[in-house]
Amino acid sequence: MNINLKGLKIAIIGGNSPCKEILEILLGPDLKELAPQVLVVADTLTQAEGIKYANKLGVPTTTDYGEVCKLEGIDVILKLKNDEMLSCILEKVNTERVSIIDLGTYRAMVFLNFLKAEEEKNRIKRRIQSEEIDKQEVSHLFDQFSTKIQENAEEENQYLKLEREDLLEMEKEMSQIIQGSMIPTFIISNEHIITHWNRACEELTGHNAYELVGTDRQWVPFRSAKRPTMADVIVGGMSEQEVSKYYGSAWRKSGLIKEAYEAEEFFPHLGEDGKWIFFTAAPIKSPDGKVIGAIETLKDITEDKKAQEELELQDQELSTLYEKYKKSEEKYRSLFNNNPNPIFIIDRQTLEILDVNHRVEEDYGYVKTELLGTPFLDMGDRSDETIKEGLETLSEKKYILFTKKKHFKKNKTSFFVNVKVVNATYSHRDVLIASATDITESVEKETQLIQAGKLATLGTMAAGMAHEINQPLNVIQICSDLILKMIKKGLTIPEDELVMMANDIIDNVARASGVIKHVRDFARQSERDLKKMIINDPINDVFKILGHQLTVHSIKVKLELDPEIPEIRAEHNRLEQVFINLVTNAIDSMDEKAEKAGAPVEKILEIKTYAEDSWVITKVSDTGIGMTDDVKRKIFEPFFTTKETGKGTGLGTSISFGIIKDYNGTIDIQSELGKGATFIVKLPAIEQGNPL
């Protein structure tokens, strides 16, 4: 750095510690002959060290950066402060007349070394010009100045060495974040060479990172011949006409991020039958705006395409576009903050939040500082211990997925998420990286379907419920009629008989009330709230609703419920719905067998519960018509039914399958045509540590 300080008129923006050091040298006695002038020192912090020192020297100060631009006669502006507002303000400066020197940490050190060298040089000049100096002292002064220059160079070299090490460490952390992302992602340089290919991308494409990183073969997983990927389009600076040549009408500019492209296409070479992929690409830029690479993210939308071709993927956002790409730290931070999913960095030991990306602030309504240091478990339902158990037992290089977990925003609004957690290293410490995906809409639709199934079930059981209520009403009617007749005849009712009838009325009112309450509880729409429970309880409650129907249909019931069975984590209301569906299907199957036989047949319903290994198992068996192999394959498909038109919706077994799967369980079928069927429900036992 070489600046002519003589008569130089200077303005300083930023009143930090280097500002004070610069003022001490510029306005000190050793540069007096050069007469540099500091016209103003600007900073919004009035207590900054440099501002206070300027006030002490009588140098004008201001908190308005705009005043610096208005001053006349300035030769150079020393910018010591990194403030986003400054970029807009300094644009007004005429740089043909005024030089702006941006002094970051390193350049500030270099500038100070330059000033110290000038200070030393002026001292030596004054001494050499003295009549009393001899040649030996001149040699000594020259050696002293050379030593000072060498020390400055060594200091600057040491700083660059340390900065390089920091940048390498930041690069490692950035790679960890990319690898931990649930979004398939790859990055290429401005020479079209792959620099990153994360694990999610490996899983989607079937191609490992070690095969591709360092090459320009990013097209291999998708094409049979070489052709630019969307990231290559960005790096190559292709025109819209050139992009259309490769992608036709399937591409478009991103509506979210400037200079980003997105498209969707079917790739027959992916997987066994090919896959539909929605992909996005955005440029990675250096501080001067030059494109130095591109990032491309992928999403498998094959199932969405099969279900609904016109569905617009509104929830897909680029994870990594940023306009100012200064160094590796900014690269890591931009990738992290622009990920489309909320990401939490969690301490491995304490489970406290160490860092969050911008999407967490947007989706949860918190400011980042409000979350740092708080327990990650506080984001969800504290009574649900499955996440804590899962995180504490998560082994190295493994991941765990928690489905349909309730989280809360700052305003206490609840929503449902799937949370995927992986191990990683962050700032030399073991951490967990948790990515949350909002699934509230799908959970609400599922809840509505289950509720519709409940109401349909209640409709088919109306006769049974009427019987359960009519029984106690008949007893009450008989007792009240008897009391009324005796009163009209003027007869005295014996006290013991009156007490007995009153007790009968009380007992039967309680019985009717209990039936009504149970039906109402069953019919209500409940929120997802998993709790510890014994599976025998919802099974026993089934007979409060279906007891009369089983009697009317001449069905013999055999219950073998293990009283010592382990607890599970589920919802009583929904499990009761599962077993009601299985029992009503068994009733229909046995009735159909009797109707086809044209004669009475033995109807037996058997329900058995027991524990085996880490599972709680329930078997529901009947002596009904049984199933063919074809029916067994289709039985859990929505709207599939073997009943006559109008007698079944085809949703019962499908809903039951979904509920059990939601609890990490399974339903299997053992059946032979003409010999009945057995449904086997398996759910994980809590004491075995199976997190949901």
Which residues, 6 or more positions from 336, have their beta carbon under 8 angstroms from its beta carbon?
177, 343, 355, 357
Do the domain assignments include residue 396? yes
Looking from the CA of 118 toward its CB, the CA atoms found within 13 Å total: 24
Does 494 map to a domain?
A: yes
Q: Domain with 636 in it: what CATH number? A: 3.30.565.10
Provide the residue range defining the domain that includes 670. 446-688
Give 526: exposed, middle or buried? Use CB within 10 Å, 0-12, 13-18, 19+. middle
φ and ψ at 608, to 5 degrees? -130, 135
Rounded distance, CA 574 to CA 538, Å? 9
Q: CB under 8 Å to 505, separation ≥6 — which residues?
A: 475, 476, 479, 480
| pLDDT, block means (10 residues), the chain with 692 residues | 82 88 87 88 89 91 86 87 73 80 78 80 73 63 64 64 60 70 87 90 89 90 88 89 85 80 87 86 75 88 69 38 46 73 88 89 90 90 80 79 86 88 76 86 64 54 58 70 75 73 73 63 59 90 78 88 92 83 87 84 92 93 88 68 52 75 88 90 75 44
- The CATH number that applies at residue 92 is 3.40.50.720
Let me know whether 86 and 185 are in one domain. no
d(CA 420, CA 428): 22
Residue with tokens 């086997």: 680
Judgement on whether residues 391 and 521 belong to the same structural domain of the protein: no
Q: Is residue 142 part of a domain?
A: no
Residue 91 lies in a domain: yes
**Residues 511, 566: contact at Cβ < 8 Å?**
no
The tokens 């009163």 sit on which residue? 487
Q: Distance (Å, rounded) from C-alpha 376 to C-alpha 616?
A: 31
DSSP 133: -
Short-list 93, 98, 97, CA closest to 76: 98
340 touches 319 (CB < 8 A)? yes
Evaluate whether 455 touches 447 at the Cβ level (below 8 Å).
no
- For residue 558, is it within any domain? yes
Count how many domains the chain has: 4
| DSSP per-residue codes, 470-498 | HHHHHHHHHHHHHHHHHHHTTPPPPHHHH
Amino acid 568: pLDDT? 92
- 411 and 302 housed in the same domain: no
pLDDT for 687: 64
Regarding whether 603 and 484 lie in a shared domain, the answer is: yes
C-beta contacts of 631-637 below 8 A and 24+ residues apart: 632/669, 632/671, 635/669, 636/667
CA gap 590, 625 in Å, rounded:
6
- 597 and 665 assigned to the same domain: yes
Residue 252 neighbours by CB under 8 Å, 6+ apart: 261, 262, 263
User: CA-CA distance, 559 to 543, in Å (whole number)?
Assistant: 11
DSSP conformational letter for 687: G
- Residue 153: inside a domain: no
Q: Which residue has the tokens 């050499």?
A: 128
Tell which residue, 375, 366, 381, 380, has the closest CA to residue 347.
Answer: 375
Q: Are 669 and 621 in contact (CB under 8 A)?
A: no
- Is the same domain home to 590 and 464? yes
Of 310, 334, 358, the residue that ends a domain is 334
Check whether residue 641 and residue 498 sit in a common domain. Answer: yes
Of 78, 106, 133, the position where a domain reaches its end is 133
Backbone conformation region of residue 250, classed left if phi is above 0, alpha if psi is from -120 to 50, else beta: alpha
Instruction: Report DSSP letters for 375-442, one per residue.
Output: BGGGGB-TT--HHHHHHHTPPTT-EEEEEEEEEE-TTS-EEEEEEEEEEEEETTEEEEEEEEEE-HHH
140 part of a folded domain: no
In sign, the C-alpha dihedral spanning 364, 366, 368, 370 is: negative
pLDDT of residue 424: 78
Distances (CA, A) of 246 to 237, 241, 263, 636: 14, 9, 11, 43
Examine the domain organization and report whether 546 and 590 are in the same domain.
yes
DSSP state of 256: S
CB atoms within 10 A of CB 370: 14
Q: Is residue 147 part of a domain?
A: no
Residue 690 pLDDT: 46
Does residue 650 share a domain with residue 532?
Answer: yes
Q: What's 364's domain CATH number?
A: 3.30.450.20
Same domain, 432 and 450: no
Give one word for 3, left, alpha or beta, with left for phi > 0 and alpha for psi -120 to 50: beta
Q: How many CB atoms lie within 10 A of CB 297?
A: 28
From 438, 470, 499, the end of a domain falls on 438
**312 DSSP assignment:** -
Q: 268: exposed, middle or buried (C-beta count within 10 Å: 0-12, 13-18, 19+)?
A: exposed
In the numeric block, the tokens 């010591």 are attached to 80
Could you give the CA distance from residue 567 to residue 616 in angstroms, rounded to a whole number? 8
Residues 199 and 263 in one domain: yes
How far apart, in whole angstroms, are the C-alpha atoms of residue 331 and residue 333?
6
- Strand partners for 438: 417
| Of 355, 357, 386, nearest in space to 373 by CA | 355
Q: So what's the pLDDT on residue 513?
A: 67
Rg (C-alpha) for the chain, rounded Å, is: 39
Backbone phi, psi, residue 552, to 5°: -60, -35
Please state, in angstroms and rounded to a whole number, the distance separating the CA atoms of residues 403 and 380.
12
Q: Which two tokens stand for residue 202?
A: 């490996």
Residue 562: phi and psi, rounded to 5, are -65, 115
Q: Are residues 430 and 450 in the same domain?
A: no
